Structure 1
Amino acid sequence: MRPPQPDARPVALTIAGSDSGGGAGIQADLSTFAAHDVFGTSAITAVTAQHTRGVDSSHVLPRSEVAAQIDAVVGDFDVGAAKTGMLASADLVSLVADRAADASFPVVVDPVMVATSGDRLLDRDAEAAYDDLLAEATVVTPNADEAAVLTGIEITGVDRAVEAGRGLLERGVDAALVKGGHVPGETITDVLVAEADTVGDRGATVGNGDEAGEIVDGAFVATFEHDRVDTEATHGSGCTLSAAIAARLARGDDLVDAVGGATDFVARAIENHYDVGTGPGAVNPQADRRTVD
Protein backbone atom coordinates (compact mmCIF):
# COMPACT_ATOMS: atom_id res chain seq x y z
CA MET A 1 0.00 0.00 0.00
CA ARG A 2 1.37 3.40 -0.99
CA PRO A 3 1.51 6.05 1.79
CA PRO A 4 -0.40 9.31 1.21
CA GLN A 5 1.43 12.48 0.32
CA PRO A 6 -0.89 15.25 1.49
CA ASP A 7 -0.52 18.71 0.00
CA ALA A 8 -0.86 21.38 2.68
CA ARG A 9 -1.45 24.86 1.32
CA PRO A 10 -3.10 28.17 2.33
CA VAL A 11 -6.87 28.51 2.05
CA ALA A 12 -8.81 31.45 0.59
CA LEU A 13 -12.54 32.11 0.38
CA THR A 14 -14.44 33.84 -2.39
CA ILE A 15 -17.94 35.21 -1.76
CA ALA A 16 -19.27 36.06 -5.20
CA GLY A 17 -21.60 35.22 -8.06
CA SER A 18 -21.27 32.34 -10.50
CA ASP A 19 -20.50 33.09 -14.16
CA SER A 20 -21.88 30.37 -16.44
CA GLY A 21 -19.38 31.47 -19.10
CA GLY A 22 -16.48 30.70 -16.76
CA GLY A 23 -14.56 33.92 -17.31
CA ALA A 24 -15.45 35.91 -14.20
CA GLY A 25 -16.97 35.51 -10.74
CA ILE A 26 -16.47 32.36 -8.68
CA GLN A 27 -14.94 30.52 -11.64
CA ALA A 28 -12.24 33.14 -12.23
CA ASP A 29 -11.57 33.41 -8.50
CA LEU A 30 -11.02 29.68 -8.00
CA SER A 31 -8.77 29.52 -11.06
CA THR A 32 -6.75 32.42 -9.70
CA PHE A 33 -6.43 30.81 -6.28
CA ALA A 34 -5.19 27.60 -7.92
CA ALA A 35 -2.63 29.55 -9.96
CA HIS A 36 -1.21 30.83 -6.66
CA ASP A 37 -1.13 27.34 -5.08
CA VAL A 38 -3.94 28.34 -2.73
CA PHE A 39 -6.86 26.03 -1.92
CA GLY A 40 -10.06 27.76 -2.98
CA THR A 41 -13.37 27.70 -1.12
CA SER A 42 -16.53 29.54 -2.11
CA ALA A 43 -19.87 30.96 -1.09
CA ILE A 44 -22.06 31.62 -4.13
CA THR A 45 -24.30 34.70 -3.87
CA ALA A 46 -26.03 34.58 -7.25
CA VAL A 47 -26.26 32.48 -10.38
CA THR A 48 -25.89 34.36 -13.65
CA ALA A 49 -26.54 33.39 -17.26
CA GLN A 50 -23.44 35.06 -18.63
CA HIS A 51 -20.97 34.80 -21.49
CA THR A 52 -18.22 36.80 -23.19
CA ARG A 53 -20.76 39.29 -24.61
CA GLY A 54 -22.75 40.14 -21.50
CA VAL A 55 -25.21 39.04 -18.84
CA ASP A 56 -28.57 37.56 -19.89
CA SER A 57 -30.08 36.99 -16.44
CA SER A 58 -29.26 36.74 -12.74
CA HIS A 59 -30.82 34.85 -9.82
CA VAL A 60 -29.87 35.98 -6.31
CA LEU A 61 -29.65 33.29 -3.62
CA PRO A 62 -31.45 33.72 -0.29
CA ARG A 63 -29.50 35.28 2.58
CA SER A 64 -29.80 32.09 4.64
CA GLU A 65 -28.15 29.98 1.92
CA VAL A 66 -25.25 32.40 1.50
CA ALA A 67 -24.79 32.59 5.28
CA ALA A 68 -24.77 28.78 5.51
CA GLN A 69 -22.02 28.55 2.88
CA ILE A 70 -19.81 31.13 4.59
CA ASP A 71 -20.32 29.55 8.02
CA ALA A 72 -19.60 26.06 6.68
CA VAL A 73 -16.27 27.17 5.23
CA VAL A 74 -15.12 29.33 8.13
CA GLY A 75 -16.20 26.69 10.63
CA ASP A 76 -13.99 24.00 9.08
CA PHE A 77 -11.10 25.61 7.18
CA ASP A 78 -8.24 27.78 8.41
CA VAL A 79 -9.09 30.61 6.02
CA GLY A 80 -6.09 32.86 5.34
CA ALA A 81 -7.97 35.56 3.40
CA ALA A 82 -11.31 36.20 1.75
CA LYS A 83 -12.55 38.28 -1.14
CA THR A 84 -15.98 39.48 -2.12
CA GLY A 85 -17.36 39.95 -5.60
CA MET A 86 -20.94 40.24 -6.81
CA LEU A 87 -23.15 40.64 -3.72
CA ALA A 88 -26.27 41.61 -5.69
CA SER A 89 -28.54 42.95 -2.92
CA ALA A 90 -28.46 45.18 0.15
CA ASP A 91 -29.36 42.17 2.29
CA LEU A 92 -26.30 40.22 1.11
CA VAL A 93 -23.99 43.24 1.49
CA SER A 94 -25.22 43.53 5.09
CA LEU A 95 -24.68 39.81 5.71
CA VAL A 96 -21.12 39.87 4.39
CA ALA A 97 -20.35 42.98 6.44
CA ASP A 98 -21.50 41.12 9.56
CA ARG A 99 -19.33 38.10 8.75
CA ALA A 100 -16.34 40.30 7.85
CA ALA A 101 -16.62 42.04 11.23
CA ASP A 102 -16.12 38.65 12.93
CA ALA A 103 -13.33 37.49 10.61
CA SER A 104 -9.80 36.92 11.89
CA PHE A 105 -8.36 37.12 8.35
CA PRO A 106 -8.00 39.96 5.81
CA VAL A 107 -10.97 40.70 3.54
CA VAL A 108 -10.58 42.08 0.01
CA VAL A 109 -13.73 43.85 -1.20
CA ASP A 110 -14.26 44.08 -4.95
CA PRO A 111 -17.36 46.30 -5.16
CA VAL A 112 -18.80 44.64 -8.26
CA MET A 113 -21.44 47.02 -9.57
CA VAL A 114 -21.09 46.90 -13.35
CA ALA A 115 -19.79 44.05 -15.55
CA THR A 116 -17.06 44.73 -18.10
CA SER A 117 -19.81 44.51 -20.73
CA GLY A 118 -21.64 47.43 -19.05
CA ASP A 119 -24.43 45.34 -17.47
CA ARG A 120 -25.37 46.37 -13.90
CA LEU A 121 -24.76 43.60 -11.35
CA LEU A 122 -25.83 45.42 -8.17
CA ASP A 123 -29.08 47.13 -7.32
CA ARG A 124 -29.00 50.74 -6.08
CA ASP A 125 -30.11 49.87 -2.56
CA ALA A 126 -27.08 47.58 -2.28
CA GLU A 127 -24.77 50.38 -3.42
CA ALA A 128 -25.99 52.44 -0.48
CA ALA A 129 -25.39 49.52 1.92
CA TYR A 130 -21.65 49.33 1.27
CA ASP A 131 -20.57 51.62 4.15
CA ASP A 132 -20.62 48.87 6.77
CA LEU A 133 -18.72 46.46 4.53
CA LEU A 134 -16.09 49.04 3.60
CA ALA A 135 -15.47 49.66 7.30
CA GLU A 136 -14.51 45.99 7.71
CA ALA A 137 -12.37 45.70 4.56
CA THR A 138 -8.60 45.33 4.47
CA VAL A 139 -8.56 46.71 0.93
CA VAL A 140 -11.29 47.72 -1.53
CA THR A 141 -10.59 47.47 -5.29
CA PRO A 142 -12.99 49.69 -7.28
CA ASN A 143 -12.50 50.50 -10.94
CA ALA A 144 -12.93 54.12 -12.01
CA ASP A 145 -16.70 53.78 -12.47
CA GLU A 146 -17.19 52.09 -9.10
CA ALA A 147 -14.96 54.63 -7.35
CA ALA A 148 -17.14 57.38 -8.80
CA VAL A 149 -20.28 55.66 -7.46
CA LEU A 150 -18.74 55.21 -4.01
CA THR A 151 -17.14 58.66 -3.67
CA GLY A 152 -18.77 60.97 -6.22
CA ILE A 153 -15.30 61.67 -7.71
CA GLU A 154 -14.81 61.17 -11.45
CA ILE A 155 -11.49 59.40 -12.01
CA THR A 156 -9.60 61.15 -14.81
CA GLY A 157 -6.03 60.49 -13.66
CA VAL A 158 -3.76 59.71 -10.74
CA ASP A 159 -4.58 62.82 -8.71
CA ARG A 160 -8.32 62.11 -8.79
CA ALA A 161 -7.67 58.46 -7.98
CA VAL A 162 -5.69 59.51 -4.91
CA GLU A 163 -8.53 61.84 -3.92
CA ALA A 164 -11.04 59.01 -4.27
CA GLY A 165 -8.77 56.67 -2.33
CA ARG A 166 -8.58 59.13 0.55
CA GLY A 167 -12.35 59.42 0.46
CA LEU A 168 -12.65 55.66 0.84
CA LEU A 169 -10.23 55.70 3.80
CA GLU A 170 -12.54 58.21 5.46
CA ARG A 171 -15.32 55.63 5.15
CA GLY A 172 -13.32 53.16 7.25
CA VAL A 173 -11.46 50.95 4.78
CA ASP A 174 -7.78 50.29 5.60
CA ALA A 175 -6.67 50.68 1.98
CA ALA A 176 -8.14 51.39 -1.46
CA LEU A 177 -6.78 50.28 -4.82
CA VAL A 178 -8.38 52.51 -7.46
CA LYS A 179 -7.93 50.69 -10.75
CA GLY A 180 -7.02 52.61 -13.89
CA GLY A 181 -8.15 50.27 -16.62
CA HIS A 182 -11.20 52.41 -17.49
CA VAL A 183 -9.15 55.62 -17.68
CA PRO A 184 -8.00 56.31 -21.28
CA GLY A 185 -4.29 56.22 -22.05
CA GLU A 186 -1.44 54.03 -23.32
CA THR A 187 -0.52 53.14 -19.74
CA ILE A 188 -2.75 51.71 -17.02
CA THR A 189 -2.02 53.15 -13.57
CA ASP A 190 -3.54 51.52 -10.51
CA VAL A 191 -3.34 53.70 -7.39
CA LEU A 192 -3.09 52.30 -3.86
CA VAL A 193 -3.95 54.63 -0.98
CA ALA A 194 -3.58 53.14 2.51
CA GLU A 195 -3.52 54.13 6.13
CA ALA A 196 0.16 54.57 7.01
CA ASP A 197 0.09 51.95 9.76
CA THR A 198 -1.37 49.40 7.32
CA VAL A 199 1.87 49.18 5.29
CA GLY A 200 4.18 49.03 8.32
CA ASP A 201 7.79 50.15 8.59
CA ARG A 202 8.94 48.86 5.18
CA GLY A 203 6.50 51.30 3.56
CA ALA A 204 7.98 52.60 0.37
CA THR A 205 9.35 49.52 -1.41
CA VAL A 206 7.84 46.37 -2.82
CA GLY A 207 9.40 42.95 -2.40
CA ASN A 208 11.79 43.28 -5.34
CA GLY A 209 13.17 46.55 -3.96
CA ASP A 210 11.57 48.81 -6.56
CA GLU A 211 10.24 52.16 -5.40
CA ALA A 212 6.51 51.81 -4.86
CA GLY A 213 5.20 54.82 -3.01
CA GLU A 214 5.52 57.27 -0.19
CA ILE A 215 3.72 58.73 2.80
CA VAL A 216 1.78 61.80 1.67
CA ASP A 217 -0.26 63.82 4.19
CA GLY A 218 -0.46 60.86 6.55
CA ALA A 219 -1.43 58.22 3.99
CA PHE A 220 0.70 55.78 1.99
CA VAL A 221 0.27 56.34 -1.77
CA ALA A 222 1.69 53.95 -4.37
CA THR A 223 1.22 53.61 -8.11
CA PHE A 224 1.52 50.46 -10.21
CA GLU A 225 1.91 50.99 -13.96
CA HIS A 226 1.55 48.59 -16.87
CA ASP A 227 1.42 49.10 -20.62
CA ARG A 228 -2.12 48.76 -21.91
CA VAL A 229 -2.61 45.58 -23.94
CA ASP A 230 -4.37 46.17 -27.28
CA THR A 231 -7.34 43.90 -26.59
CA GLU A 232 -10.92 44.05 -25.37
CA ALA A 233 -10.58 40.61 -23.75
CA THR A 234 -10.74 41.89 -20.18
CA HIS A 235 -13.77 39.88 -19.01
CA GLY A 236 -13.00 38.77 -15.46
CA SER A 237 -10.06 41.13 -14.92
CA GLY A 238 -11.49 42.74 -11.79
CA CYS A 239 -12.39 39.39 -10.23
CA THR A 240 -8.97 38.01 -11.04
CA LEU A 241 -7.17 40.99 -9.53
CA SER A 242 -9.04 40.91 -6.23
CA ALA A 243 -8.67 37.13 -6.04
CA ALA A 244 -4.93 37.41 -6.68
CA ILE A 245 -4.59 39.95 -3.86
CA ALA A 246 -6.51 37.65 -1.51
CA ALA A 247 -4.42 34.63 -2.53
CA ARG A 248 -1.19 36.51 -1.87
CA LEU A 249 -2.44 37.76 1.49
CA ALA A 250 -3.37 34.17 2.37
CA ARG A 251 0.19 33.15 1.49
CA GLY A 252 1.58 35.76 3.87
CA ASP A 253 2.44 38.70 1.60
CA ASP A 254 2.06 42.15 3.09
CA LEU A 255 -0.43 44.48 1.43
CA VAL A 256 1.91 46.34 -0.93
CA ASP A 257 3.61 43.15 -2.12
CA ALA A 258 0.21 41.51 -2.61
CA VAL A 259 -1.10 44.41 -4.69
CA GLY A 260 2.09 44.76 -6.74
CA GLY A 261 2.24 41.05 -7.50
CA ALA A 262 -1.46 40.88 -8.29
CA THR A 263 -1.37 43.76 -10.77
CA ASP A 264 1.56 42.09 -12.57
CA PHE A 265 -0.37 38.81 -12.58
CA VAL A 266 -3.46 40.39 -14.16
CA ALA A 267 -1.38 42.16 -16.81
CA ARG A 268 -0.07 38.76 -17.92
CA ALA A 269 -3.56 37.23 -17.72
CA ILE A 270 -4.89 39.90 -20.10
CA GLU A 271 -1.95 39.70 -22.51
CA ASN A 272 -2.33 35.90 -22.72
CA HIS A 273 -6.14 35.93 -22.58
CA TYR A 274 -8.42 33.04 -23.49
CA ASP A 275 -9.66 33.26 -27.09
CA VAL A 276 -13.08 31.77 -26.34
CA GLY A 277 -16.70 32.64 -27.08
CA THR A 278 -18.00 34.97 -29.76
CA GLY A 279 -17.22 38.06 -27.67
CA PRO A 280 -13.77 39.53 -27.03
CA GLY A 281 -12.65 36.60 -24.83
CA ALA A 282 -11.69 36.35 -21.16
CA VAL A 283 -8.60 36.87 -19.03
CA ASN A 284 -6.45 33.82 -18.38
CA PRO A 285 -5.52 33.26 -14.71
CA GLN A 286 -3.50 30.21 -15.77
CA ALA A 287 -1.27 32.20 -18.13
CA ASP A 288 1.84 31.66 -16.01
CA ARG A 289 1.34 27.90 -16.34
CA ARG A 290 0.71 27.90 -20.07
CA THR A 291 2.76 25.38 -22.04
CA VAL A 292 3.56 25.58 -25.76
CA ASP A 293 4.02 22.47 -27.90
Structure 2
Amino acid sequence: MNQNNVSEVSEFILLGLFPVKEVQLALFFLFIHFYCFILLGNILIILTIYLDYHLASPMYFFLANLSFLDICYCSVTLPKMLGDFLRQPKIISYGGCMCQLFFLHFLGAAEIFLLIAMAYDRYVAICKPLQYFHLVSGSVCCMLVGASWIGGFIHAIILVMLTHQLHFCGPNILDNFFCDVHQVIRLACADTHRVETLTFINNGLVILSSFILLLISYGILLMKLKTSTTLGRGKATSTCVTHIILIFVMFTPAIFLYTRPLVPLFIDKVVAVFLTVIFPLLNPVIYTMRNKEIKNSMKKLIEKYGLWITL
Protein backbone atom coordinates (compact mmCIF):
# COMPACT_ATOMS: atom_id res chain seq x y z
CA MET A 1 0.00 0.00 0.00
CA ASN A 2 1.25 3.50 -0.82
CA GLN A 3 2.32 5.17 2.41
CA ASN A 4 1.40 8.61 1.05
CA ASN A 5 -2.22 7.59 1.15
CA VAL A 6 -2.10 6.31 4.76
CA SER A 7 -2.79 8.82 7.51
CA GLU A 8 -0.96 8.38 10.81
CA VAL A 9 -3.54 10.66 12.41
CA SER A 10 -6.61 8.62 13.35
CA GLU A 11 -8.56 11.49 14.92
CA PHE A 12 -8.67 15.27 15.22
CA ILE A 13 -9.27 17.35 18.34
CA LEU A 14 -11.70 20.25 17.92
CA LEU A 15 -11.20 23.28 20.15
CA GLY A 16 -14.83 24.33 19.64
CA LEU A 17 -16.32 27.81 19.90
CA PHE A 18 -15.42 28.82 23.44
CA PRO A 19 -13.24 27.19 26.12
CA VAL A 20 -15.24 28.26 29.20
CA LYS A 21 -17.57 25.47 30.38
CA GLU A 22 -20.37 27.78 31.54
CA VAL A 23 -20.39 29.59 28.20
CA GLN A 24 -20.48 26.26 26.35
CA LEU A 25 -23.53 25.21 28.36
CA ALA A 26 -25.29 28.49 27.51
CA LEU A 27 -24.38 28.05 23.85
CA PHE A 28 -25.74 24.49 23.94
CA PHE A 29 -29.22 25.71 24.95
CA LEU A 30 -29.06 28.57 22.43
CA PHE A 31 -28.00 26.43 19.48
CA ILE A 32 -30.37 23.57 20.26
CA HIS A 33 -33.21 26.10 19.97
CA PHE A 34 -31.72 27.29 16.67
CA TYR A 35 -31.55 23.70 15.40
CA CYS A 36 -35.15 22.97 16.38
CA PHE A 37 -36.31 26.16 14.67
CA ILE A 38 -34.38 25.29 11.49
CA LEU A 39 -35.86 21.78 11.40
CA LEU A 40 -39.44 22.81 12.21
CA GLY A 41 -39.39 25.92 10.00
CA ASN A 42 -38.09 24.14 6.92
CA ILE A 43 -40.29 21.07 7.48
CA LEU A 44 -43.29 23.42 7.73
CA ILE A 45 -42.31 25.06 4.44
CA ILE A 46 -42.02 21.66 2.72
CA LEU A 47 -45.35 20.43 4.11
CA THR A 48 -47.11 23.69 3.18
CA ILE A 49 -45.89 23.51 -0.41
CA TYR A 50 -46.71 19.79 -0.66
CA LEU A 51 -50.23 20.05 0.81
CA ASP A 52 -51.41 23.30 -0.80
CA TYR A 53 -52.19 22.82 -4.49
CA HIS A 54 -52.14 26.62 -4.95
CA LEU A 55 -48.38 26.42 -4.45
CA ALA A 56 -47.89 23.78 -7.14
CA SER A 57 -45.51 25.89 -9.25
CA PRO A 58 -41.82 25.59 -10.18
CA MET A 59 -40.84 28.46 -7.86
CA TYR A 60 -42.24 26.67 -4.80
CA PHE A 61 -40.88 23.32 -6.00
CA PHE A 62 -37.39 24.85 -5.90
CA LEU A 63 -38.11 26.44 -2.52
CA ALA A 64 -39.14 23.06 -1.06
CA ASN A 65 -35.89 21.55 -2.33
CA LEU A 66 -33.94 24.47 -0.87
CA SER A 67 -35.59 23.87 2.51
CA PHE A 68 -34.69 20.18 2.32
CA LEU A 69 -31.08 21.08 1.55
CA ASP A 70 -31.07 23.48 4.51
CA ILE A 71 -32.17 20.68 6.84
CA CYS A 72 -29.41 18.39 5.56
CA TYR A 73 -26.79 21.16 5.48
CA CYS A 74 -27.21 22.30 9.09
CA SER A 75 -27.33 18.67 10.26
CA VAL A 76 -23.75 18.12 9.07
CA THR A 77 -22.22 20.30 11.80
CA LEU A 78 -24.88 21.26 14.37
CA PRO A 79 -25.58 17.86 16.05
CA LYS A 80 -21.85 17.23 16.45
CA MET A 81 -21.32 20.74 17.83
CA LEU A 82 -24.19 20.33 20.31
CA GLY A 83 -22.73 17.07 21.59
CA ASP A 84 -19.25 18.62 21.89
CA PHE A 85 -20.61 21.42 24.09
CA LEU A 86 -21.23 18.75 26.76
CA ARG A 87 -17.98 16.78 26.56
CA GLN A 88 -14.23 17.07 26.71
CA PRO A 89 -12.16 16.49 24.70
CA LYS A 90 -14.01 17.21 21.47
CA ILE A 91 -12.81 14.47 19.14
CA ILE A 92 -13.70 13.53 15.59
CA SER A 93 -12.23 10.54 13.75
CA TYR A 94 -10.25 10.99 10.54
CA GLY A 95 -13.01 9.29 8.55
CA GLY A 96 -15.68 11.38 10.29
CA CYS A 97 -13.69 14.50 9.48
CA MET A 98 -13.50 13.62 5.79
CA CYS A 99 -17.24 12.81 5.73
CA GLN A 100 -18.09 16.10 7.42
CA LEU A 101 -15.90 18.00 4.98
CA PHE A 102 -17.50 16.22 2.02
CA PHE A 103 -21.14 16.68 3.01
CA LEU A 104 -20.67 20.29 4.09
CA HIS A 105 -19.30 21.30 0.69
CA PHE A 106 -21.57 18.91 -1.23
CA LEU A 107 -24.75 20.35 0.25
CA GLY A 108 -23.46 23.92 0.31
CA ALA A 109 -22.52 23.83 -3.37
CA ALA A 110 -25.82 22.12 -4.22
CA GLU A 111 -27.64 25.06 -2.59
CA ILE A 112 -25.58 27.51 -4.66
CA PHE A 113 -26.45 25.72 -7.90
CA LEU A 114 -30.10 25.51 -6.83
CA LEU A 115 -30.13 29.30 -6.39
CA ILE A 116 -28.96 29.55 -10.02
CA ALA A 117 -31.86 27.30 -11.04
CA MET A 118 -34.24 29.57 -9.10
CA ALA A 119 -32.78 32.59 -10.92
CA TYR A 120 -33.45 30.84 -14.24
CA ASP A 121 -37.03 30.22 -13.14
CA ARG A 122 -37.52 33.92 -12.34
CA TYR A 123 -35.90 34.95 -15.65
CA VAL A 124 -38.31 32.84 -17.68
CA ALA A 125 -41.33 33.95 -15.60
CA ILE A 126 -40.50 37.63 -16.09
CA CYS A 127 -38.94 37.77 -19.56
CA LYS A 128 -40.73 34.89 -21.33
CA PRO A 129 -44.07 34.49 -19.50
CA LEU A 130 -45.88 32.94 -22.48
CA GLN A 131 -43.29 30.14 -22.70
CA TYR A 132 -42.99 29.66 -18.96
CA PHE A 133 -44.68 26.28 -18.54
CA HIS A 134 -42.80 24.94 -21.55
CA LEU A 135 -39.34 26.17 -20.53
CA VAL A 136 -39.83 25.38 -16.83
CA SER A 137 -41.83 22.17 -17.05
CA GLY A 138 -41.86 19.48 -14.37
CA SER A 139 -39.16 17.48 -16.14
CA VAL A 140 -36.97 20.57 -16.54
CA CYS A 141 -37.36 21.36 -12.83
CA CYS A 142 -36.30 17.83 -11.88
CA MET A 143 -33.32 18.06 -14.23
CA LEU A 144 -32.23 21.39 -12.71
CA VAL A 145 -32.49 20.02 -9.16
CA GLY A 146 -30.60 16.88 -10.20
CA ALA A 147 -27.90 19.01 -11.85
CA SER A 148 -27.57 21.00 -8.61
CA TRP A 149 -26.91 17.81 -6.64
CA ILE A 150 -24.46 16.50 -9.24
CA GLY A 151 -22.61 19.83 -9.33
CA GLY A 152 -22.37 19.84 -5.54
CA PHE A 153 -21.07 16.27 -5.54
CA ILE A 154 -18.35 17.04 -8.10
CA HIS A 155 -17.25 20.12 -6.16
CA ALA A 156 -17.07 18.24 -2.84
CA ILE A 157 -15.39 15.10 -4.14
CA ILE A 158 -12.59 17.19 -5.65
CA LEU A 159 -11.96 18.85 -2.27
CA VAL A 160 -11.98 15.51 -0.43
CA MET A 161 -9.62 13.90 -2.96
CA LEU A 162 -7.21 16.83 -2.68
CA THR A 163 -7.29 16.61 1.13
CA HIS A 164 -7.22 12.82 1.48
CA GLN A 165 -4.03 12.49 -0.58
CA LEU A 166 -2.12 14.52 2.03
CA HIS A 167 -0.05 12.85 4.76
CA PHE A 168 -1.09 13.70 8.35
CA CYS A 169 1.37 12.83 11.11
CA GLY A 170 0.53 15.48 13.72
CA PRO A 171 -0.40 17.92 15.15
CA ASN A 172 -4.08 17.07 15.02
CA ILE A 173 -5.75 20.08 16.68
CA LEU A 174 -8.35 22.09 14.73
CA ASP A 175 -9.27 25.50 16.11
CA ASN A 176 -12.89 25.18 15.04
CA PHE A 177 -16.12 23.32 15.82
CA PHE A 178 -16.07 21.29 12.59
CA CYS A 179 -13.60 20.01 10.00
CA ASP A 180 -13.02 22.87 7.60
CA VAL A 181 -11.00 22.10 4.50
CA HIS A 182 -8.53 24.97 4.94
CA GLN A 183 -7.67 24.11 8.52
CA VAL A 184 -7.30 20.39 7.77
CA ILE A 185 -4.93 21.13 4.88
CA ARG A 186 -2.73 23.28 7.16
CA LEU A 187 -2.15 20.25 9.43
CA ALA A 188 -0.60 18.14 6.66
CA CYS A 189 3.03 17.04 7.03
CA ALA A 190 3.94 18.05 3.49
CA ASP A 191 4.20 20.98 1.13
CA THR A 192 0.57 21.94 0.59
CA HIS A 193 1.07 24.84 -1.83
CA ARG A 194 -0.32 22.91 -4.82
CA VAL A 195 -3.31 21.60 -2.87
CA GLU A 196 -4.02 25.06 -1.43
CA THR A 197 -3.96 26.57 -4.93
CA LEU A 198 -6.29 23.93 -6.39
CA THR A 199 -8.65 24.26 -3.40
CA PHE A 200 -8.69 28.04 -3.79
CA ILE A 201 -9.46 27.71 -7.53
CA ASN A 202 -12.19 25.12 -6.92
CA ASN A 203 -13.90 27.22 -4.25
CA GLY A 204 -13.42 30.42 -6.21
CA LEU A 205 -14.98 29.01 -9.37
CA VAL A 206 -18.06 27.79 -7.53
CA ILE A 207 -18.59 30.64 -5.07
CA LEU A 208 -17.39 33.82 -6.80
CA SER A 209 -18.56 32.96 -10.32
CA SER A 210 -22.01 31.92 -9.02
CA PHE A 211 -22.28 35.06 -6.86
CA ILE A 212 -21.42 37.37 -9.77
CA LEU A 213 -23.74 35.47 -12.14
CA LEU A 214 -26.65 35.69 -9.70
CA LEU A 215 -26.15 39.39 -9.02
CA ILE A 216 -26.01 40.18 -12.74
CA SER A 217 -29.09 38.04 -13.41
CA TYR A 218 -31.23 39.65 -10.70
CA GLY A 219 -29.91 43.10 -11.59
CA ILE A 220 -31.14 42.61 -15.16
CA LEU A 221 -34.48 41.29 -13.90
CA LEU A 222 -35.01 44.26 -11.58
CA MET A 223 -34.25 46.67 -14.43
CA LYS A 224 -36.70 44.77 -16.62
CA LEU A 225 -39.38 44.97 -13.92
CA LYS A 226 -38.74 48.68 -13.39
CA THR A 227 -39.75 49.43 -16.97
CA SER A 228 -42.53 46.85 -17.06
CA THR A 229 -46.23 47.70 -16.82
CA THR A 230 -47.51 44.14 -16.58
CA LEU A 231 -49.82 42.95 -13.83
CA GLY A 232 -48.02 41.38 -10.89
CA ARG A 233 -44.89 43.51 -11.22
CA GLY A 234 -44.85 44.25 -7.47
CA LYS A 235 -45.06 40.56 -6.55
CA ALA A 236 -42.28 39.65 -9.01
CA THR A 237 -40.07 42.45 -7.67
CA SER A 238 -40.64 41.30 -4.08
CA THR A 239 -39.68 37.73 -5.03
CA CYS A 240 -36.47 38.91 -6.72
CA VAL A 241 -35.56 41.06 -3.71
CA THR A 242 -36.12 38.04 -1.43
CA HIS A 243 -33.76 35.97 -3.55
CA ILE A 244 -31.15 38.75 -3.52
CA ILE A 245 -31.31 38.97 0.29
CA LEU A 246 -30.82 35.20 0.49
CA ILE A 247 -27.85 35.41 -1.90
CA PHE A 248 -26.08 37.99 0.25
CA VAL A 249 -26.84 36.07 3.46
CA MET A 250 -25.32 32.90 2.01
CA PHE A 251 -22.45 34.20 -0.12
CA THR A 252 -20.97 36.88 2.15
CA PRO A 253 -19.57 34.45 4.76
CA ALA A 254 -18.71 31.85 2.10
CA ILE A 255 -16.66 34.38 0.13
CA PHE A 256 -14.88 35.50 3.30
CA LEU A 257 -13.96 31.95 4.34
CA TYR A 258 -13.14 30.25 1.04
CA THR A 259 -11.96 32.83 -1.50
CA ARG A 260 -8.99 34.30 0.35
CA PRO A 261 -5.49 32.98 1.16
CA LEU A 262 -5.36 30.25 3.82
CA VAL A 263 -4.38 32.61 6.63
CA PRO A 264 -6.29 32.04 9.90
CA LEU A 265 -8.15 35.03 11.37
CA PHE A 266 -9.72 35.34 14.82
CA ILE A 267 -13.20 35.93 13.39
CA ASP A 268 -13.17 32.80 11.20
CA LYS A 269 -15.19 30.80 13.75
CA VAL A 270 -17.79 33.55 14.06
CA VAL A 271 -18.20 33.69 10.28
CA ALA A 272 -18.36 29.87 10.17
CA VAL A 273 -21.24 29.93 12.69
CA PHE A 274 -23.05 32.42 10.46
CA LEU A 275 -22.56 30.20 7.41
CA THR A 276 -23.47 26.85 9.00
CA VAL A 277 -26.12 27.93 11.53
CA ILE A 278 -27.48 31.44 10.95
CA PHE A 279 -27.95 31.08 7.19
CA PRO A 280 -30.19 27.96 7.47
CA LEU A 281 -31.95 29.72 10.36
CA LEU A 282 -32.72 32.86 8.32
CA ASN A 283 -33.88 31.06 5.19
CA PRO A 284 -37.36 30.05 6.47
CA VAL A 285 -37.72 33.45 8.18
CA ILE A 286 -36.93 35.39 5.00
CA TYR A 287 -39.35 33.39 2.87
CA THR A 288 -42.25 33.32 5.33
CA MET A 289 -41.96 37.02 6.16
CA ARG A 290 -41.65 38.24 2.55
CA ASN A 291 -43.97 35.81 0.75
CA LYS A 292 -47.68 36.39 1.46
CA GLU A 293 -48.81 33.24 -0.39
CA ILE A 294 -46.72 30.82 1.61
CA LYS A 295 -47.35 32.77 4.83
CA ASN A 296 -51.13 32.54 4.37
CA SER A 297 -50.89 28.87 3.41
CA MET A 298 -48.86 28.18 6.55
CA LYS A 299 -51.48 29.85 8.71
CA LYS A 300 -54.23 27.73 7.13
CA LEU A 301 -52.18 24.58 7.67
CA ILE A 302 -51.46 25.48 11.30
CA GLU A 303 -55.12 26.31 11.99
CA LYS A 304 -56.27 23.11 10.31
CA TYR A 305 -54.14 20.96 12.62
CA GLY A 306 -54.80 23.07 15.71
CA LEU A 307 -51.34 24.57 16.12
CA TRP A 308 -51.66 28.19 17.18
CA ILE A 309 -48.52 30.22 16.64
CA THR A 310 -48.06 33.68 15.23
CA LEU A 311 -46.20 33.93 11.94
TM-score, normalised on structure 2?
0.27
* Structure with greater helix percent: 2
Q: Which has the higher contact order (CA 8 A, sep 6+)?
A: 2
